[in-house]
Amino acid sequence: MQGFAFRPMRASDLPLLCEWLGRPHVAEWWGAAPSQAEVDEDYPPMLSPKSTDRAYIALLDGAPIGYIQSYVVMGSGNGWWSDELDPGARGIDQFLAHADQLNRGLGSAMVRAFVDLLFEDAAVTKVQTDPSPANHRAIRSYRRAGFHAQGEVTTPDGPALLMVRAR
């Protein structure tokens, strides 16, 4: 379909990320827009190639269209996924940066391409995500990308629908 690529986020991308996080269609699900200082404090650990939590800029035909992050689920801490015992489980979170690109199939295509990339690592057994049960657009997008609902769960951010795509 489209030519997606995922470039590891760099420190020079932090102002762009801050601007994207402030857009209404992103803030609706990601929370109140952070300040640049908050982004500069929170995201740099994910920029290290040695980190198990990684941040990427999603590119479509070379143009930045969104943000995507992946992490090792087991041991993620801070009240997240304490029951997960599979070291191959990965979690993802993402958004499209431009409101005019919503409802066009780009989100599901981006997620599908990113998960396919994660599955190139033989150690990855499944990929999960946890949209709000009220985020019907995201749930439809994940279903189109091959995810299956596992049921509602309680997370540190509140209720979520756990969705999984197995290898």
Distant-in-sequence, close-in-space partners of 125: CB < 8 Å, separation ≥ 6 = 86, 88, 89, 166, 167
State yes or no: pLDDT of 1 exceeds 60.
no
For each of the domains in the chain, give its residue range(s) and CATH number, in order of start. Answer: 4-166 (3.40.630.30)
| φ, ψ for residue 44, nearest 5 deg | -55, -35
Distance CA 90, CA 123 (A): 10
Counting beta carbons within 10 angstroms of the beta carbon of residue 37, is it exposed (0 to 12), middle (13 to 18) or buried (19 or more)?
A: exposed
Distance CA 47, CA 124 (A): 20
Segment 69-78, tens digit of pLDDT = 999 999 887 8
pLDDT for res 50: 86
Segment 33-61, tens digit of pLDDT = 999 999 999 999 899 888 889 999 999 99
Tokens of 119: 């599955």
